[in-house]
Structure 1
């Protein structure tokens, strides 16, 4: 099944993240809720999903809190690291989607409905990846992935907002939690005022604070 193939790719994707910064004795990995993990690798701090087609919160995550229904985070965005993370994610998603037919590709994208899966569903970007990347994850592929991701960050309104702010607030809302099939929605980037309004709208309990 395609889902098993996707899960099989999670380990090398995680190892790829390590390869960019190097694992050390001070590194931390803490399980949160909904399949998300808070990771510290050297000076890099971020929140990572358990699935490549879910949204992540890129470095630097400077505060976080969670319960079984929500994850709250404050991010001081780092654009250089954002390029690296986005490049890794787009490359990994492409390597999955290029090997399936168009109907299955649409099914995967619709199921997870994350921002990055929406981006890669655009035929122009998918064709750009297809024309510039191989499935070998070579050094040249990594370089080309960075160039493509840098262009996405420059032109995509979502990422323009993320990296134009000094500080972003985020809320990950878990819905329909059933074993491994947690459906999560990422709200953000938010200003502090927007964050407080979203807290009230979502009914986040007062004892869950940053």
Structure 2
């Protein structure tokens, strides 16, 4: 049964990996940042894919600047409604699919999956049922409806409203535990990097 479930979830995630490959093939850039994190640019859209798991946190578009070392990634983001309506909606489909159609996934959830399971995306039963109603095990999804649902969450949820409240956001990723910090204003970012002990060599110009 476990083998069958693993095969099923593998088949469900095939489109996700094709999605990433297509982005890499069509994009202007793909930069390996270490620990599974990859900076991608697809035309005018730029973002950082999470490391190790689709449930881990990356940095959504548009990423204007980024730097990294062995331990950290720092980035400046100009939040893009276009990104959240298209790319982000696609990623959410794969996250839901990986849990809706694998009977063992929730029981055996890893730390990244548990974080998603504890988020509004899953804990809000009405939202979860709305998303599930338009996501099918054969990837025959109603993308337009899903984009509309995701858009409504982004416009109402305090976390996403915070992301879009300013023109620029600063983010920090600690690679060793895939921990994402942000969104920050520049002042909040400077205080957080000091708290984390990020070396001065890893910094943007004029910090």
Does the pair score TM above 0.5?
A: yes
The TM-score with structure 2 as length reference comes to: 0.83
Deviations 1:69-92 (A, max 9, x none): 100000011112112122112110
Aligned residue pairs: how many?
199
For 1:198 and 1:118, the matched residues in 2 are separated by 23
The runs of 5 or more residues in structure 1 that have no matched partner are 176-182
> Equivalents in 1 of 2:89, 2:99: separation in Å?
15
CA contact (8 A) 1:83 1:153 kept: no
Q: Does 1:193 align with 2:187?
A: yes
Following superposition of structure 1 onto structure 2, how do residues 61-140 of structure 1 map, counting pairs within 5 Å? 61-101=63-103, 104-105=105-106, 107-108=108-109, 110-114=111-115, 118-122=119-123, 123-138=125-140
TM-score by length of 1: 0.82
Q: Cα–Cα, structure 1 residues 71 and 5, in superposed 2: closer, same or farther, change >3 Å?
A: farther
Q: Could you tell me whether the CA contact under 8 Å between 2:24 and 2:40 is conserved in 1?
A: no
SS of residue paired to 1:132: coil
Q: Which residue of 2 aligns with 1:54?
A: 56
- Residue 39 of structure 1 and its aligned partner are, at CA, apart by 0.7
| SS of structure 2 residue aligned to 1:108 | coil
Residue deviations 1:25-75 (CA, integer Å, cap 9, x gap): x62111002210011111111111142101121111111000111000000
Question: Matches of 2:107 and 2:152 in 1, distance apart?
Answer: 24
Counterparts of 2:99 and 2:59, CA distance in 1:
22
User: What is the DSSP-based 3-state SS (H/G/I as helix, E as strand, rest coil) of the residue aligned with 2:202?
Assistant: coil
Is contact 1:90-1:116 (8 Å) kept? no
Distance 1:170 1:73 in 2: 5
User: 1:7-38 CA deviation, whole Å, 9 max, x = no partner?
Assistant: 7766531433576x7954x6211100221001
CA RMSD of aligned residues (A): 2.7
For the residue of structure 1 that corresponds to 2:132, the secondary structure is: helix
